[in-house]
Amino acid sequence: MSKLSILGGPKTITKKMKLHNSIGNEERNIVNKVMKSGKLSAFYGTWGDGFYGGKYVQKFEKDCSNFFKVKYALSVNSWTSGLIASVGALDINPGDEIIVSPWSMCASATAIIHWNAIPIFADIEYDTYNLDPADVIRKITKRTKAIMSVDIFGHSAPINELKKIARKYNLKIISDSAQSPGAKYNNKFAGTATDIGGISLNYHKHINTGEGGVIFTNNRKYAERIAMIRNHAEAIVVKKKVKNLANLVGYNFRMGEIEAAIGIEQLKKLKKIIKKKQDTAKLLINGLKGLSGLKLPIIKKNCSHVFYVFPLQVDGKKLGVHRNKIYEALQAEGVEGLQANFTHIPRLPLFKKKIAYGSKGFPWTINKHAKKIKYTNGICPVADDLQDNKYLGILLCSYVFDKQDVNNLIKAFHKVWNKLESLK
């Protein structure tokens, strides 16, 4: 076997990967219908006709409700908007604490900051990278009002355990299932088994509308409050005869008719896309399972994995080579879509420096308890270890992998592992 590319040898992979693209003629045709109608949005920021959007928005929401088996599905212009609306719907007050994963897209935590509440980071499990229920319990205080559970990489968090905790401490749960559309937990779709949940329709997700998201809930009160926050709540409360005005500062989080029309067609493709990602993951697992010091994805009992990311862990101590060096060697071999770290939210400047609104530390200055909260290394040691030493991910949802692509990727891993001594 030739020497590693990073040391001057030939690349294992010379073919560029094809980017994932789920948009086809079905989407083009339905978009043309919307364009010909001239009605690109049918929302009005007043109570009455148009408050809930046009026919494509309402059809897309109905289709989502039926597909995901949830009473209410509300479309939004981004999943960030969805998270903001979801937190606001829970009647959160400034200074309240919400427990959230440190390993997620930053919007999971900034949606909490948006309502002047305080994110409290609980650690994650090594196995699934989701919230560790034991650490969630350790982080609960008398100010805790909710848990935001993130179904990361395509695998659901341990919802039943989190729901037991929520019942005991009278907390609500939001499921951020942005990366896990169609994943199952005890035969329920991710994002549908908690008070509020939802998925992202960003362009690099399994299905997409360019930007967008869908919020799920089985609670009518939450659905109504989300619909109001989505669409200029303060302007409609009088005519709608709303009595509880808390957090009804509304926004334009509305999805357009074009995006909704695309979503109608994209939803029809979700099962097929998931099956393709799962088949690719099986091939990778079979091809990589013999490599020493490499931990493969784990799928918990009664769960399914939709593999937004194919997550791995490198035991650098066992191999005598740090994860970062292996990452560099794999990249040099031509492996695309590889990441050696993820968004570790507490390390972002906003949290490290506790500067969000203005320059004087608000909302952490809101009370003496919030002032004492620190976002330092060590508050989530598992997340720290994964970020600094172990995690290695393949962006499975970003590319189309045929069998040859998978075989080439496996060859690149084996080549690097066979030549680890040369990296020491």
Half-sphere exposure for 235 (CA within 13 Å, toward CB): 14
Rounded to the nearest angstrom, the gap between the alpha carbon of residue 31 and the centroid of all alpha carbons in its chain is 27
| CATH class, 25-266 region | alpha beta
Token readout for 328 is 């560099």
CATH 3.90.1150.10 residue ranges in the chain? 5-20+270-342+383-423
Percentage of the residues of the chain whose pLDDT score is greater than 70: 100
The pLDDT, as a whole number, for residue 1 is 65
Cis amide bond preceding 10, omega within 30: no
pLDDT at 2: 85
d(CA 233, CA 213): 19
Q: Is 44 exposed, middle or buried (0-12, 13-18, 19+ CB in 10 A)?
A: middle
Low-confidence ranges of the chain (pLDDT < 50): none
Reduced to 3 states, what is the DSSP secondary structure of residue 42? coil
| pLDDT of 134 | 98
The alpha carbon of 321 is separated from its chain's Cα centroid by a whole number of angstroms, namely 31
Q: Where in the chain is the domain with CATH 3.40.640.10?
A: 25-266
Alpha-carbon gap, residue 213 to 111, rounded angstroms? 14
pTM: 0.97
What letter does residue 46 receive in the DSSP assignment?
S
Residue 241, exposed/middle/buried by CB under 10 A (0-12, 13-18, 19+)? exposed
The rounded distance, in Å, linking the Cα atoms of 217 and 199 is 12
Cα–Cα distance between 216 and 67 in angstroms, integer? 11
> How far is Cα 217 from Cα 39, in angstroms, rounded to an integer?
28
Is the CATH code 3.90.1150.10 the one for domain 5-20+270-342+383-423?
yes
In angstroms, rounded to a whole number, what is the distance separating the alpha carbons of residues 76 and 1? Answer: 52
